[in-house]
C-alpha cells in the first residue's frame, strides 16, 4: 500500500510573503473604521427620531473613531506623507485609492457634525454634515473588507463575497454598543435594534463565508483566530440578547453590559480576521491546494 501523499511546497518555503502590517495598527484600523461608519448611521437615525443624547454620543464616537483609525493607518505607513501620496490620483479599480479618498471626504464631515452638535450652533450645517457622514459611513464600514479581500492572502481573498457583509454587521454592532453605553434607556431604542440586526448580519454572514471558503476557512478554526472568533461570537450574541432585555426592563446596568460586550466582540472579530489571514499566508497549502482543485475542476 502506498501511503497517502502529504502536501509540501518547494523546500517548505511559503508561496506568499507574510503581511508585514502591524496587528494593533491594522486590526485597530479595521475595527475603528467600522465603529465610525456605524456610528454615523446611528447618529442620523437618532437625529431624525428626536433622540439628542444618542445622536451626540454617536457623532462624537464617529469623529473620535475615524481620527484614531487614520492615526493607526498613518502609524503603520510610517510617515503621513505616504497617505497623502495616495491622494495624487483617483483609481476606481483600486480599493486603497477609493478608500483613501473616502476617508478624506468622510472625516471632515464627522468633525463638523460633532462640533456643531456640541456648540449648538449652525444647525443646518450640522444636519447636512450628519447626513453626508451617514451616506459615506456605509462605505467606510465596508471598504476595508474589499481592501483585504483584494489581496492574495487566501483566508481574506476567498471570503470576498461575504466579508463586506461581515464587516457591515460588525460595525453596526460596535456602534450600537457605543450607543447603549452612552444613551439613557428611553433614547436607546435605535441602538438596541441596530445591535440585533448587526449581530444577525455579522454572525450569519461569517458562517456562510466559512462554509463557502473550503480549505481557506481552516485558519479561522485554529490557534489564536479560533479563540478570538469564539469570544466574538459569544460576546456579540450575548450583547444583542442583553440589549433586548435591557430595553424591556429599562435597566441601565444591563445596557452598559450589552454595550461593552458588543464593542469587545466587534474588536475580537477584526483581530481574528487579521491573524487568520497572516496564518494562511504563512502556510503554502492554503495557496497551492485550492489552485490545484480549481485546475482539476476546469479540466473536468
pLDDT in tens, 178-231: 999 998 888 888 999 999 999 999 999 999 999 999 888 999 999 999 999 999
Average pLDDT over residues 224-242: 95
Give the pLDDT of residue 277. Answer: 92
- pLDDT (tens digit per residue) in 47-105: 999 999 999 999 999 999 999 998 998 888 887 777 777 788 888 888 888 888 999 99
Return all residues near 172 (Cβ < 8 A) that are at least 6 apart: 38, 41, 141, 194, 195, 197, 198, 201, 202
Residue among 21, 30, 23 at smallest CA distance from 171: 30
Residue 46 has pLDDT above 80, yes or no: yes
Give the pLDDT of residue 36. Answer: 95
Average pLDDT over residues 134-150: 93
Residue 297 has pLDDT above 80, yes or no: no
Give the pLDDT of residue 75. Answer: 86
Residue 282 has pLDDT above 80, yes or no: yes
Give the pLDDT of residue 83. Answer: 76
Return all residues near 31 (Cβ < 8 A) that are at least 6 apart: 170, 174, 266, 267, 270, 271
Average pLDDT over residues 249-264: 91
CATH code at 23-299: 1.20.1630.10
Q: pLDDT band at 7, cuts 50/70/90?
A: low
Amino acid at each position: 500500500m502506498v501511503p497517502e501523499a502529504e502536501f509540501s511546497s518547494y523546500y517548505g518555503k511559503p508561496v506568499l510573503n507574510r503581511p508585514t502590517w502591524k496587528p494593533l495598527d491594522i486590526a485597530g484600523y479595521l475595527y475603528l473604521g467600522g465603529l465610525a461608519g456605524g456610528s454615523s448611521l446611528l447618529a442620523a437615525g437618532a437625529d431624525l427620531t428626536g433622540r439628542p443624547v444618542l445622536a451626540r454620543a454617536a457623532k462624537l464616537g464617529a469623529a473620535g473613531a475615524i481620527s484614531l483609525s487614520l492615526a493607526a493607518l498613518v502609524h503603520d505607513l510610517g510617515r503621513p506623507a505616504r497617505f497623502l501620496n495616495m491622494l495624487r490620483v483617483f483609481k476606481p479599480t483600486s480599493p486603497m485609492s477609493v478608500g483613501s479618498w473616502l476617508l478624506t471626504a468622510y472625516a471632515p464631515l464627522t468633525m463638523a457634525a460633532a462640533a456643531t452638535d456640541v456648540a449648538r450652533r449652525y444647525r443646518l450645517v450640522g444636519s447636512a454634515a450628519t447626513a453626508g457622514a451617514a451616506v459615506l459611513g456605509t462605505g467606510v464600514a465596508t471598504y476595508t473588507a474589499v481592501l483585504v479581500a483584494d489581496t492574495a492572502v487566501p483566508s481574506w481573498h476567498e471570503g470576498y463575497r461575504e466579508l463586506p457583509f461581515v464587516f457591515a454587521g460588525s460595525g453596526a454592532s460596535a456602534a450600537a454598543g457605543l450607543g447603549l453605553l452612552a444613551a439613557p434607556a428611553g433614547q436607546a431604542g435605535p441602538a438596541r435594534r441596530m445591535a440585533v440586526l448587526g449581530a444577525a448580519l455579522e454572525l450569519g454572514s461569517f458562517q456562510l463565508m466559512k462554509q463557502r471558503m473550503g480549505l481557506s476557512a481552516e485558519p479561522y478554526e485554529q490557534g489564536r483566530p479560533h479563540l478570538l472568533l469564539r469570544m466574538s461570537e459569544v460576546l456579540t450574541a450575548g450583547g444583542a440578547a442583553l440589549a433586548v432585555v435591557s430595553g424591556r426592563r429599562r435597566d441601565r446596568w444591563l445596557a452598559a453590559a450589552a454595550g461593552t460586550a458588543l464593542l469587545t466582540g466587534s474588536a475580537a472579530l477584526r483581530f481574528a480576521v487579521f491573524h487568520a489571514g497572516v496564518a494562511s499566508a504563512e502556510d503554502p497549502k492554503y495557496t497551492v491546494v485550492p489552485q490545484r482543485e480549481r485546475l482539476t475542476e476546469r479540466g473536468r
